[in-house]
Amino acid sequence: MNISITFRHMDATDAVKGYATEKVAKIQRFLRAPLKGQVTMSCQHERLHSVEVDVHAGHDHFHAHETSEDMYASIDKVIDKIERQVASAKGSVTSRKKGADRASEHLPVDVLTAHAGHED
């Protein structure tokens, strides 16, 4: 796992850096491949705090951006967005593995039972 933190237009603090690193590291439990994360934090007009997160794991890539008046709230919101993206990607892979794309699953039940009763 490799997580890099970048600060723009603000002072780097160990508390914020540690908090962001801890939150991004928790995403690893949802991924199979080792995680490479890039977190960019910036302060605009001394009121708005922006956080941008890029996560790469194997061939998967996830990106989210969030702005709020509190840096910790921005980190929490952007991590929630990333987790939803990872869960969505994992759900689509799981449904493909289970064969959800087969045509018979999209047919109404009465059509399937009507064809089952005919023996030609």
How many domains does the chain fold into?
1
**What does the longest C-alpha to C-alpha distance in the chain come to?**
78
pLDDT tens column, 22-38: 999 999 998 889 999 99
Q: Which domain holds residue 113?
A: 2-117
CA dihedral 68, 90, 25, 79 (to 10 degrees): 10
The residue assigned the tokens 């929630």 is 80
Look at the block and give the residue holding tokens 């962001």. Answer: 20
> Residues of the chain with pLDDT > 70: what percent?
77
pLDDT digits (tens, 9 = 90+) for 44-81: 887 899 999 999 999 999 999 999 999 999 999 999 99
**CB-count exposure of residue 88 (10 Å: 0-12, 13-18, 19+):** exposed
Between vectors from CA 35 to CA 33 and to CA 38, what angle results, nearest 5°? 155
Rounded to two decimals, what is the model's pTM? 0.75
Which CATH number is 31's domain given? 3.30.160.100
Which pLDDT value is given to residue 109?
A: 52
